[in-house]
Amino acid sequence: MDTWSYGIIGCDDAYDLFFDITEIVVDKFSNEELELYPRYMIPDERYKEVLVSVYEDLKKFVEVKKSRLAYIVLGAHLMIIGVPIDENLKEKILEYSDWKYEKDQIRNEKHRIERKKNLEEFRETLIKYNGNGEEKIPSFFDTVTSVINRRFDESDSSPIKLKNIDYTIKKNKK
């Protein structure tokens, strides 16, 4: 996995998960619909309608992944599309996006501050989120290109590749 940003979606695995979630939704479209709407050009309301129909499948998908990142990405995806999130899933996303899992993984102080801020912003948005599209959803994506462009603008010479975060969900040992 390559990590280029400590944004909510700033690594290869996050992009892969976002794509996998999109594929689960798109796979439910008929061939006629896919011919009518070129891939990923599906009207927002139709995409949202189908996403709601596969909501339980998406919850199973992230559960099987045993990854905190899978829950975080699903939460971002649902908020971006404007789909209500049930309380049980919201609680899991909030639990798995807690800074306590990551605070000892990032050594660079600037990066620690950035990641903590991004997680806090994500969590605050999720707490306020009610699925009716009224919440302003911050940009959760940070592409490699946007990172490179920022570094050119700010004359930042720090590396593009950052330390990966371990998102594995580990069982508590008693």
- Lowest mean pLDDT: which of 95-99, 119-123, 128-132, 170-174? 170-174
Residue 134: how many CA atoms within 13 Å on its side-chain side?
A: 4
pLDDT in the model for residue 174: 47
Quote the percentage of the chain above a pLDDT of 70: 84
39 CB-near residues (< 8 Å, 6+ apart)? 26
- R_g over Cα of the chain: 17
What pLDDT digit, counting tens, does each position of 53-110 carry?
Answer: 999 999 999 999 999 999 999 999 999 999 999 999 999 999 999 999 999 999 989 8
CA angle 114, 124, 131 (to 5 degrees): 130
What is the predicted pLDDT for the residue at 141?
Answer: 74
Closest to 92 measured CA to CA, from 115, 58, 118 = 58
pTM score:
0.88
Which pLDDT score, from 0 to 100, does residue 15 have?
92
Residue type, 8: I
